[in-house]
Amino acid sequence: MNLDTTVRDGMTPFEAVNHFFARAAEINQLGDAAIEVLAGTYRELRVQLAVRRDDGSRLICNGYRVQHNGARGPYKGGIRFHPEADIEEVRALASLMTWKTALVDVPFGGAKGGVQVDPSRLSEPELERLTRRYTDQIGSVLGPQRDIPAPDMNTNAQTMSWILDQYGRKYGHTPQIVTGKPIALGGSYGRTEATGRGVVMTMDEAVSDAGLGDPSEVSVAVQGFGNVGSWAARIAAEEGYRIVAVSDIEGGIHVPGGINIDQLVAHVADTGTVTGFPGSDAVSNESLLELDVDVLIPAAIGEVITTENADRIQARIVVEGANHPTTPVADRILGDRGITVVPDILANAGGVTVSYYEWVQNNQEMRWSLEDVNRRLEAKLRRAYQQCREFQSGHEGLSLREAGFSLAVARVVEAAELRGYI
C-alpha cells in the first residue's frame, strides 16, 4: 500500500487526503485489509460528454463520479464544474466526504462528481445541456438509496433542478435523488447557507477555546466569496465578528475597521465582484492569507496554504471552509507554530449535514422549519467539535485534524467490519 505518514511536497490531492488517513490508521492501529480498502475507492466512473454548443460546435469534456466508501450508507457528495476537476481531485474530494459524513455522524458514505470544464465560458442553455447529459451518463450509479449528489463549486440549486428533472424522466419523480434543490422542488430551508453557517459555528467553538473574547474583538479574513465564503462572512458579521478582508477570483479588499457586509453584498450584486468596494484597500488573494488577523477562513479552492506561505500565516485560527485548502506539509508547519486548524471535514460539514436533513424531509414527505433545521445543525456540529476535543485530550499532542480523521476512520471501519468488507 502506498500510504505515507511522512510529509513531503508535491503530493497529489488524493495522496494528501490519504496522508491524513494514514495518520488516523496508525492511531487506530488498523489492519492491512482495512488500510487497503479505505486508501482506495470503490467505484470510479469516467464518461465522455459531448454537448452541442449554441453556435452548433461541440464541447467535449470528461465527467466523473467517484464513490469512495459506502459502508455507513448511500454514497453522498457534491458535483463540481471546474477545469481542475480531474480524476485525482475527484477521488480526493470523494474520500473527504467519507470522513466528513462519518465525523458528523450522518448515515452516508462518500462520493464526489466532477465535470472538467470552465463553466464561466458556457451559456445557461449550454450548462443545462451539459448537466442533463452528465446525469444521463452517470444515472445508472445514482439512486436515492445509492448515491445522492449535491452542489459544489460552480453548481447550485438550478443545477440540481436539471439533475432531478433529467433523472425523473427515466426513473420517475424522485426528489431525494439530489440535495441542495430549490425549496419549490423539495429543498430544505437553510441548505443554501448551511456550509457557511457551519463554518461560523465551528469558528465560535475554536474562538472560545482559544479565549479570544467577544466576537467584536475578533478579526476575520475570508478568502472566497462564493456560496461558502459569502454566507460565512454574512453570518459571522451578524454575530458581531469584525470581517476585515474578503476576496473573490478577481482579487480582494481590506478594511481594517471592518467591512459592512450588507453593503458589500449589494456592491457584488451590482458589479459582480468584491473588488472596488468603496472605502477599501485592494489586497491580492495571496496577501489576504497572510494578513495579521485572528481568524483566517480559506473558502475558495484547494491547496492555498502550502510550504510557500505557511510560515507567513499570522492568524491564530484557520477554519477550513474550502475542501483541502492546506497541504500536509503546510498543516505540519501551522501545527508547529501553534496555529489551530479547524479541518475541512469538520468546518465545512454543515452543508452535507443539512443535505442529510433535506433527504430525511423528502423521505418523510414533510418540511421542517428553518429554526428546526438550524437547531439540529448546531447540535450536530458542536457535538462533532466537542468529540474531536475529547479525543485530543485522550491523545497527547494530536491536532484537531488528526482527532477528526481518527474518529471518522474508526466509525467507517466499524461499519465495514460489521458488513464483512474487511
At residue 257, the 3 state secondary structure works out as: coil
Which of 19, 23, 72, 76 contacts ligand GLU by CB under 6 A? Answer: 76
Q: Which long-range contacts (CB under 8 A, 24 or more apart) does 287-292 make?
A: 287/252, 288/221, 288/223, 288/245, 288/246, 288/247, 288/252, 288/254, 289/221, 289/223, 289/313, 290/314, 291/221, 291/244, 291/245, 291/254, 291/315
Alpha helices in 253-369 (DSSP H): 261-271, 285-289, 328-336, 344-347, 350-364
Could you identify the residue written with the cell 438550524?
A: 374
Q: Of 87 and 212, which has the nearer Cβ to ligand GLU? A: 87
CB 213 within 8 A of CB 396: no
Tell me the window of 15-23, 129-137, 302-310, 349-357 that interacts with ligand GLU (CB under 6 A).
349-357
Site for ligand GLU in 355-414 (CB under 6 A): 355
Cell of 388: 474531536
Which of 13, 74, 78, 252 contacts ligand GLU by CB under 6 A? Answer: 78
Q: Of 228 and 295, which has the nearer Cβ to ligand GLU? A: 228
Distance of closest approach, residue 4 Cβ to ligand GLU, in angstroms = 24
CB 280 within 8 A of CB 258: no
Q: Of 116 and 219, which has the nearer Cβ to ligand GLU? A: 116
Which of 98, 161, 176, 179 contacts ligand GLU by CB under 6 A? Answer: 179
Distance of closest approach, residue 191 Cβ to ligand GLU, in angstroms = 8
At residue 151, the 3 state secondary structure works out as: strand
Distance of closest approach, residue 77 Cβ to ligand GLU, in angstroms = 5
Query: Binding marks (x or -) toward ligand GLU, 135..174, rule CB under 6 A?
Result: ---------------x-x----------------------
Distance from C-alpha of 48 to C-alpha of 30, rounded to nearest angstrom: 38
Binding residue count for ligand GLU, defined by CB under 6 A: 12
Q: Of 179 and 340, which has the nearer Cβ to ligand GLU? A: 179
Distance of closest approach, residue 186 Cβ to ligand GLU, in angstroms = 15
Query: Binding marks (x or -) toward ligand GLU, 82..121, rule CB under 6 A?
Result: ------------------x---------------------
Tell me the window of 24-32, 267-275, 350-358, 375-383 that interacts with ligand GLU (CB under 6 A).
350-358
Which of 154, 192, 323, 399 contacts ligand GLU by CB under 6 A? Answer: 323
**CB proximity list for 331: less than 8 A, separation 6 or greater:** 7, 305, 341, 399, 401
CB 79 within 8 A of CB 112: yes
Could you identify the residue written with the cell 465551528?
A: 202
**CB proximity list for 119: less than 8 A, separation 6 or greater:** 81, 82, 127, 154
Which of 61, 293, 297, 352 contacts ligand GLU by CB under 6 A? Answer: 352
Tell me the window of 47-55, 116-124, 347-355, 414-422 that interacts with ligand GLU (CB under 6 A).
347-355
Asked about 112 being catalytic, the answer comes back as: yes
Alpha-carbon distances of 264 from 1, 260, 283, 288, 410, rounded to whole Å: 49, 6, 15, 17, 43
Q: Of 30 and 199, which has the nearer Cβ to ligand GLU? A: 199
Query: Which residue's Cβ lies closest to ligand GLU?
Result: 78
Does 74 contact ligand GLU by CB under 6 A?
A: no
Given the residues 76, 100, 112, 380, the one annotated as active site = 112
Residue (of 47, 51, 50, 62) closest to 137 by Cα position: 47
Distance of closest approach, residue 214 Cβ to ligand GLU, in angstroms = 30
Provide the binding-site residues for ligand GLU, judged by CB under 6 A.
Answer: 76-78, 100, 150, 152, 179, 323, 348, 351-352, 355
List the catalytic residues.
Answer: 112
